[in-house]
Amino acid sequence: MTAIERSRTVAVVGAGTMGQGIAQVALLAGHRVLIYDIDASLAADGVGIVQDRVERMAAKGRLDRAGAEETVGRIAAAGALADLAGAALVIEAVVENVGIKQALFAALEEVVEPDALLATNTSSLSVTELAAGLAHPGRFLGLHFFNPAPLLPLVEVVSGSATDPAAAERAYRTVLGWGKTPVRCADTPGFIVNRIARPFYAEAFAVYEEQGADPATIDAVLRESGGFKMGPFALTDLIGQDVNEAVTRSVWESFFRSPKFTPSLAQRRLVQSGRLGRKSGHGWYPYGPDAVAAQPHTAGPEEAPDKVTVVGDLGPAADLAHLLEEAGIAVTATEHGGPYIQLPGEGQLVLADGKTSVEFADVVYFDLALDYRGATRIALSASADTSERTLSEAIGLFQKLGKQVSVIGDVPGMIVARTVAMLIDLTADAVARGVASAEDIDTAMRLGVNYPLGPSEWHDRLGQDWAYDLLHHLDERCPGGRYAPSLALFKLGYAAGDEEGTE
């Protein structure tokens, strides 16, 4: 199945920001483009905006002048739906309302040629439901672009229950030819990105609700230890708390209120109070000329121990042994027991595993890092029973490695570790259910929300049973189903015959 020919017309219905962006992408790919909007003035304005963007590209040397003149001549406003009759692809980008979209596509079906593809850019509605009532639902699919469409490479190509595989393949190849990175996805709530990304927000909000840490500290740990570009509190302030909470609630409702997707009460209260983020001047953080930026909790200086013993295999934190030696700390290793770092005061430093410090005599937990050498901040957690010496030695140890240290509450799984484990679990479950391939999910999460690694890449790096074990421990301490490892994750970690931890 080949891509739609460049000689064929592409039509966009809806002249808002997203419609303009999609029209620009198709135009620069070489198609004739028509923009239609129920408000004719908006369609005309949309054409003008896209033409101005092309002119600016030429002024900056990104297009030659002759090419720009030819390009702007290939886009026009359509005065009526009937004007879209010759389009080979019609992409809808109108209001997120099922009834409005269904009526639109029913009308389009009466206009376009039998071989034309009909696509919705919906981010939250069911592609299958939108196709209900169409005479030819096989040619209907989702093409979910991300905003701003001209800049962001990812496009989710969503097949509804009735979508013809040939139609999905033709759309996939067309988008690929436009210079985008398409990923294939079944029609599931949230598609790929909005489904898999929920724990990134939810776990941060849960740690906050559990009084584990404040927003600035959680954001800093996820950025500086986890490698994420933005923390979830700052990101949802940018997106808009109402928008983010609505997506979370939609996914939760669509999954019949599964505890895996339970919305945050703290975020609900934020929305109810009108603190919607940057657009309202206050969200999790204050904004405006007089706003004082919130600072993460950072421990004061402590003296590092001059020697430690590494007991057992530290797994994802194995690099710490080398870093400690490079920092001038004497390291003794023993293969039996563990895994933990034995401190001189007899306390233990343990990688987050879903358990709590209060369960043990004298334990400080440390959080997962994308790269312990490159991380600039490490989170530690301890209970009221942890000795002051053990906590100070743990703080000093990481400060000796050049890290800032944030001490958080005794929350199981800490911050980065529980977030990554949940991302891995939702991905394993989605792959097992045929939502998308592991490779496409990794691509979607890296390109769609700028994650440092895709969830399956995290899984490969951390080990086959790491996420399962952590979630199993979390589920024991926080029962209710939210952290219960999926059957898919169980199979992924234990199909090779590893019996440990399955009881």
Active-site residue numbers? 123, 144, 156, 194
Burial of residue 41 (CB within 10 Å: 0-12, 13-18, 19+) is: exposed
DSSP helix/strand/coil, 95: coil
- Residue 141 tokens read as 């699919």
Is the C-alpha dihedral spanning 314, 317, 318, 323 positive or negative?
Answer: negative
Comparing CA positions, the residue from 24, 26, 23, 30 lying closest to residue 7 is 30
Enter the tokens of residue 59.
């002024």
Best CA proximity match to 404, nearest among 233, 223, 169, 228: 223
**Residue 12, CA distances (Å) to 185, 386, 477 in order:** 22, 62, 51
Query: Which single residue is written with the structure tokens 């999910």?
Result: 441
3-state secondary structure 317-344: HCHHHHHHHHCCCEEEEECCCCCEEECC
Torsion of CA 19, 21, 22, 24, to 10 degrees: 120
CA dihedral 455→460→465→467, nearest 10 degrees, is -20
CA nearest neighbour of 11 among 44, 37, 40, 33: 33
